[in-house]
Amino acid sequence: MNATPKRLRKVILSGIRKSLLEFGSATKVELSDKLEISFPTISKFLTQMEKDGEVISVGLDESSGGRRAKRYMYNPEYMLGLAIFLERTETNYAIFNCVGEVKEQGKVPSVLVEDGLHLLTTSIEKLITAYPKISSIAIGVPGSVDNGRIFYIPGYEQFQNFDLKGFYEDYFSIPVVVENDMNAAVLGFHHNRRIQDNQSLVYLYSGQNGPGAGFMINGDVVRGSTFFAGEVSFVPQYNDRNFRQALENGTGPKEVPISQDYQIDAISRLVASFTAIINPHTIIFCNDEVEEAIVEKIALASSKYIPSEHLPDLTISDWKQDYLYGLQSLGLDLMLNQPLK
């Protein structure tokens, strides 16, 4: 349950941080109104945060008829985040500040190899030494993750069933989050487009291992009972073909970008299924797989199967970018929940 004053403090603190970042800057009264926390409490927190260098005073507001209010902004460089993308062929990383600006981006050899863990550890160590303000680590992996433990990662058995989060939190004493690549992308899209919470999104992609989807429903990532959610390859669509078979059309290698009519019909049937089942607000396609004109064709084709007023917003986005945003947003969340020093 955790309904204690200590918990309250954490919630208030992270509320102040989030509001300052959201608004860009704010006065104490604005924060008090927004967060519905009393003025003296806001004041006490802000005084301490200013002392720590976490917030900066940026002068006085114009008077609105009385004494002028002091305006504060969050110091975006106060904490940095580290995002790491584990991929088959390479490992990318990005260091970003609290407003999402990337301070440094780079790559190291893939760590999804024998003794990769050690390689990863030394890479992180170097980065933390160079940027001591790093206060969170977000790691994206091409596998299923349950609360920081890598659950199922076909092809990279040395990481299978390894508690990456626990390991690095102990090792570095910095909060760590580990998330599946697809789920991170959905989160990133959600966060970047500033979509209201508790909306539902579907991110559709053609992976190396066949098509898949990431779901966010009511604002939560969907993992499924056996972490099988999103394996849309298996959706039966025609008398004797499922989605994957329909996409491949018996020709073996898949065609990308999407262009053929049989592909469009298969996708529009999938869109119809999503709509009839979870009725999401938005379905997102990858910009390197689908073009604008094709999306329109898919929308048109879908309306053969379902009333078009229920059709979700079909949109295109940059998967890589959303993946980064997603890891950033997960890391930022960890930072904003950190206690006052």
Partner DNA sequence: TAAACTTATTAAACAACTTTAATAAGTATC
Partner DNA sequence: GATACTTATTAAAGTTGTTTAATAAGTTTA
Picked from a second copy, DNA, none, the partner binding residue 28 (CB below 5 to 8 A depending on kind) is DNA
Residue 19's alpha-carbon distances to 6, 24, 47, 152, 244, in angstroms, are 20, 8, 16, 37, 44
Q: State the Cα torsion 1-338-8-221 to the nearest 10°.
A: -50
CA nearest to 202, candidates 218, 214, 193: 214
Q: Is 38 in the site for DNA (CB under 7 A)?
A: yes
Picked from DNA, a second copy, none, the partner binding residue 277 (CB below 5 to 8 A depending on kind) is a second copy
How near is the Cβ of 101 to a second copy at its closest, in Å? 27
Evaluate whether 228 touches 182 at the Cβ level (below 8 Å): no
Residue nearer to DNA on the CB measure, 61 or 169: 61
Backbone angles phi, psi at 29, to 5 degrees: -65, -45
Q: Is 195 in the site for a second copy (CB under 8 A)?
A: no
Among 51, 59, 64, 157, binds DNA (CB under 7 A): 64
Picked from a second copy, DNA, none, the partner binding residue 142 (CB below 5 to 8 A depending on kind) is none
How near is the Cβ of 68 to DNA at its closest, in Å? 5
Picked from a second copy, DNA, none, the partner binding residue 29 (CB below 5 to 8 A depending on kind) is DNA
Among 51, 59, 67, 196, binds DNA (CB under 7 A): 67
SS3 state of residue 27: strand
At residue 19's C-alpha, the angle toward residues 335 and 332, to 5°, is 20
Among 25, 43, 75, 315, binds DNA (CB under 7 A): 43
Token pair of 104 as six digits: 């440094």
Picked from a second copy, DNA, none, the partner binding residue 273 (CB below 5 to 8 A depending on kind) is a second copy
Q: Is 1 in the site for a second copy (CB under 8 A)?
A: yes
Q: Is 196 in the site for a second copy (CB under 8 A)?
A: no
Strands laid side by side in the 134-141 sheet: 102-109, 90-97, 80-86, 134-141, 176-180
Token pair of 308 as six digits: 């078009």
Residues that bind a second copy (CB under 8 A): 1-5, 8, 11-12, 15, 35-37, 199-200, 213, 215, 217-218, 220, 222-239, 242-243, 269, 272-281, 305-306, 309-310, 312
